[in-house]
Each structure stands twice: as C-alpha cells, then as structure tokens.
Amino acid sequence: MSSASTLANYLGQTGRLTLDQLAGMGRMFLFLVSAVFLAFRPPAKIRLIIYHIKTIGLDSLSVVVLSGFFTGMVMGFQGYYSLRKFNAESWLGSATALGLLRELGPVLSAFMVTGRTGSAMAAELGTMRATEQIDALYSMAINPVKYLVSPRIIASLIAMPLLTAIFDSVGIYGSYLVGVGLLGVSSGSFFSGIENSVVFHDVYSGFVKSVWFGLIITWICCYKGFHAPPMATGVSQATTESVVLSFVIILVWDYFLTSIML
C-alpha cells in the first residue's frame, strides 16, 4: 500500500512538473508572438530601436572584434596544422572563410552578444520588474511588451547580422595574419582559395543564422527578465538562466538550420 502511494506521489509530481514545463514553454512562445506582433504594429518606436541598436550593436562591438580576431588566428594555426598533413596549406583561406561564414561567425558572435548584451537585458528588465517600473507602465496604459521588448527585437534583427559580418571579416584577417604572416602561406593562394570556394549561399546561410540568433537572444533574455521574481536573487537567477538557455537554444537551433541549409 505504501509503495503504491509513493509511486502515485512520484507520478503526480512528475506530471505536475511536466505540465509546469509545458505551460512555461507556452508562455514563452506567446510572449514571442506578442512581442513580434507588436513590433510591426504602429506607432513604430524608431528612437528606441536606434537606441537599442546602439546598446546591442555598438556596445558589443569591441568584444566581437576581439573574439573574432583571436578565433581567426586560432583557425589559422589549427587549419595550417591540419591542412599540412595533406599538403593542402594553400586551402587555409578557404577553410577559414567557410568555417567562419557558415558556422563560427554567427554562433560565436551570438555567444558574445548573449554574454555582453543579453545578460544586461535580463538584468535590466528584472530590476524594472522588482522596482515596479513594469507595473508603472501597465498602470499608465502603456503596453510594456511593446515599449520594452519589441524595439529590442527589431534592433537585434538589424544589429546581429552586422556584428556577425564584422566577426567574419576580422576573423579572416586574423587567420591571414597567422597563415600568411607567420606560417608562410602564400597570400595569393589564401585569397584565391576564398574566392574559388565561397559562394553566395555560404554568406546567406550565415546571415540567416545571425538573424535567428538575434531573435533567440532577445526573446529569451527579455522573457526571463520580464518574468523575474521581484527580488535580488530573482534578478540574478533570471540573468543566469537567460544566458544558459540562450546558449543551449542557439546551439540546438544552429543544428536544425545547418541541416536545412547545408
């Protein structure tokens, strides 16, 4: 009898947990739908969009440039080491460019933006929740999703591809410096390899990924901040969860996008 009731308790708890998780996912999805719908509904918040392009784009620029440069340099070393085994060092430019444009550029710049700006979004909205600023917007008959979230979504859709393009360019330059400057790969073969192997679809798939990742970062970080429990630990918890969940969903979504656009 007691083992049966233990089992029933266990099943009950598992069921409740599953329902809670499903309800949470549903709320997250509805939040996204509402934010995207409101983003394209007048009046457009042009000033706010420009302000958030600055916070997402310009403020993340230094970290994106730095990480792109070193990623490219590491790719120069690793690519040279691998390609030399097949006497194919001249393909270094091609390998670096394809790797960055198709995969590493969008993913790593998304990680950088999540750490630099996404966490700040979650913390800012979480603090606004804790200090009743979001309630104040509601009470002034202003939809806080339209005012706080929608402009960030549009801004991220604009800023993220630009940051990714910068990451790619700086990364290729970093690889060039290591491959050509340090390891003696011919400059001509480095660039001709890029010219011969990179096609429009490679650039396009990186662009599509960066747009999706921009949406994912803003969606998750804003959702977590917006619904943070109104206390100091709630804000810190929301910030951590937003970063971890963004990383995971970026990688999962990257797999699906890659498999579709390969």
Partner 1 sequence: MIRVANLHKSFKGQKVLKGVNLEFATGKITTIVGTSGCGKTVLLKHLNALLLPDSGEVLVDGIDLTKLRQKELYKMRGKFGVLFQGAALLDSMSVFDNVAFPLREKTKTKESEILKKVEERLEQVGLAGMGSKFPAELSGGMKKRAGLARALIMDPEIVLFDEPTTGLDPVLATSIHQLIARTQEAFGFTGVLVSHTIPQVFDISDYVAMLANGIIEEISPPESFRASQNPVVQQFIQGKTEGPIQVL
Binding site for partner 1 (CB under 8 A): 128, 131-133, 135-136, 138-143, 147
Tell me how crowded residue 261 is: count the other CB atoms within 10 A of its CB.
14
Residue 94, judged by CB atoms within 10 A of its CB (0-12, 13-18, 19+), counts as buried
Smallest separation, CB 16 to partner 1 (Å): 13
Query: Toward partner 1, which CB reaches closer, 33 or 66?
Result: 33
What span, in angstroms and rounded, lies between the C-alpha atoms of 226 and 224? 6
Query: Toward partner 1, which CB reaches closer, 147 or 191?
Result: 147
Smallest separation, CB 229 to partner 1 (Å): 12
Query: Toward partner 1, which CB reaches closer, 115 or 230?
Result: 230
What span, in angstroms and rounded, lies between the C-alpha atoms of 109 and 164? 6
Smallest separation, CB 12 to partner 1 (Å): 16
Query: Toward partner 1, which CB reaches closer, 83 or 123?
Result: 123
Residues with Cβ within 8 Å of residue 103, at least 6 apart in sequence: 206, 254, 258
Smallest separation, CB 124 to partner 1 (Å): 8
Query: Toward partner 1, which CB reaches closer, 4 or 141?
Result: 141
Query: Toward partner 1, which CB reaches closer, 128 or 185?
Result: 128
Smallest separation, CB 38 to partner 1 (Å): 11
**51-67 b/e with 16+ CB inside 10 Å = b?**
ebbebbbeebbebbbeb
Query: Toward partner 1, which CB reaches closer, 46 or 252?
Result: 46
Smallest separation, CB 249 to partner 1 (Å): 28
Smallest separation, CB 137 to partner 1 (Å): 8
